[in-house]
């Protein structure tokens, strides 16, 4: 899973990126030239996997990971080449979802590019640049489809749909809000790498004082939350500076500090949960002495396709899946006890995987 972190300059985007990518045990940063995104690979915290590690004492421990891309700050006119322009936009087309960092804090020492704090204006600035870039892409796609339609009338549906989408977006609306009229249209839309069709989380970057006072007291955060609710997007109140401080603390000190702020988990943990929810993802687990590991799949994935995440041979030669929910295994204390009690189920090709399933796949090729 790739997540792009975007925002105007001086909103705390890079501070947040550095904080969250330094928090994961497997985090690793690969700095490129300034025109390239910084990349951080972060382990997904999972207490279930930790419990399996204690149970099996495995040789290898492999959590799921998320790749975060810190994309260079976007400025007004980027779609026409201002700032890093199209370089920025090409990087963001590769991600699965966008975390849009929005400045909701006041600080006279950190100059805002537009001279004042206005999160809705900032969101509109970036949205407009993404929409303009998407419309340019659509114009090229429409021309290509029109040429193809001369020799093959089956392109007519795509052509008409793309023209409607272009009109919709020229009205300042994102591709996310476009209503497809059929499954075929939805599949066409899904196949186009439009920036404004990607799921989005608004990270409302607030001051530590705002967190202490209560996030609902921050008018800027409430404006972002209202917008996100209207769009069906996610919003995450976060303090990038606070996340940086948490990285310097040991576990006990960190939990005490969070508790004083009325929080139970770090910004990274909360952000990852938002990402999984937004993208409709769950994790299944495999466990044994050689390795305990978490695997990320889409909700609704059936057992053979989940097996294919491990290896294509597992899916091709799928026989059955031996499954037990995590909680039931913990209650039994061991896999041997679970099998004695008949709690390990044998599931076939139509089984839909559930979050926290511990699975052993049987296959033959």
Quickly list H helices, the chain. Answer: 13-23, 47-56, 85-92, 119-151, 156-170, 183-190, 208-213, 219-231, 240-246, 251-260, 267-279, 303-310, 312-316, 326-332, 335-340
* DSSP structure string for 63-113: --EEEEEEPPPP-TTGGGT-TTHHHHHHHHTT-SEEEEEEE----TTS--T
Measured distance CA(236)–CA(239) in Å, rounded? 10
Measured distance CA(237)–CA(322) in Å, rounded? 40
Q: Which two tokens stand for residue 193?
A: 């790498």
Strand pairing report for 38-43 and 29-30: antiparallel
Global pTM exceeds 0.75:
yes
Q: What is the DSSP letter of 68?
A: E
Cβ atoms within 10 Å of 182's Cβ, excluding its own:
10
pLDDT tens digit at each of 365 positions of the chain = 889 888 887 788 878 888 877 744 333 333 333 345 678 888 888 999 999 999 999 999 999 998 888 876 555 554 455 444 455 667 778 889 999 999 988 776 665 666 677 899 999 988 888 898 899 899 999 999 999 998 888 889 999 999 999 999 999 899 988 999 999 999 999 999 898 999 999 999 988 888 778 888 889 999 999 999 988 889 999 988 888 888 788 888 888 888 887 777 888 888 888 899 889 999 999 999 999 999 999 999 999 999 999 999 999 999 999 999 999 999 999 999 999 999 999 999 999 999 999 999 999 98
Beta bridge partners of 94: none
pLDDT tens for 243-259 read 888 878 888 888 888 88
* Alpha carbon distance, N-terminus to C-terminus of the chain: 29
């Amino acid at each position: 899973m790739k997540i792009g972190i975007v925002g105007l300059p001086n909103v705390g985007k890079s501070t947040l990126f550095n904080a969250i990518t330094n928090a994961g045990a497997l985090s690793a940063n690969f700095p490129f030239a300034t025109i390239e995104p910084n990349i951080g690979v972060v382990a997904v915290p999972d207490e279930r996997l930790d419990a399996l590690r204690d149970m099996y004492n495995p040789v290898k421990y492999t959590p799921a990971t998320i790749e975060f891309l810190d994309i260079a700050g976007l400025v007004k006119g980027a779609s026409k080449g201002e700032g890093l322009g199209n370089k920025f936009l090409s990087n963001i087309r590769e991600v699965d979802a966008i975390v849009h960092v929005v400045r909701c804090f006041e600080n006279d020492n950190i100059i805002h590019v537009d001279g004042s704090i206005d999160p809705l204006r900032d969101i509109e600035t970036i949205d407009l640049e993404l929409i303009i870039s998407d419309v340019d892409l659509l114009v090229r796609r429409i021309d290509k489809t029109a040429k193809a339609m001369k020799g093959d009338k089956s392109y007519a549906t795509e052509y008409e749909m793309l023209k409607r989408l272009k009109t919709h977006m020229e009205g300042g609306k994102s591709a996310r809000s476009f209503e497809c009229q059929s499954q075929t249209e939805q599949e066409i839309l899904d196949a186009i790498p439009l920036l404004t069709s990607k799921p989005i989380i608004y990270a409302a970057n607030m001051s530590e004082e705002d967190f202490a006072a209560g996030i609902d007291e921050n008018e800027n955060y409430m404006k972002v939350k209202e917008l996100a609710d209207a769009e069906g997007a996610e919003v995450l109140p976060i303090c990038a500076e606070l996340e940086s401080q948490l990285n310097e603390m040991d576990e006990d000190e960190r939990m005490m500090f969070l508790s004083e702020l009325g929080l139970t988990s770090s910004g990274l943990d909360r952000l990852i949960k938002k990402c999984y929810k937004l993208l409709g993802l769950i994790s299944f687990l495999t466990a044994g002495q050689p390795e305990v590991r978490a695997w990320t799949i889409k909700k609704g994935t059936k057992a053979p396709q989940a097996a294919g995440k491990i290896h294509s041979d597992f899916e091709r030669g799928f026989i059955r899946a031996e499954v037990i929910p995590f909680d039931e295994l913990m209650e039994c204390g061991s896999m041997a006890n679970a099998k004695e009690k008949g709690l390990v189920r044998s599931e076939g090709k139509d089984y839909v995987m559930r979050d926290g399933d511990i699975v052993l796949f049987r296959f033959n090729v």
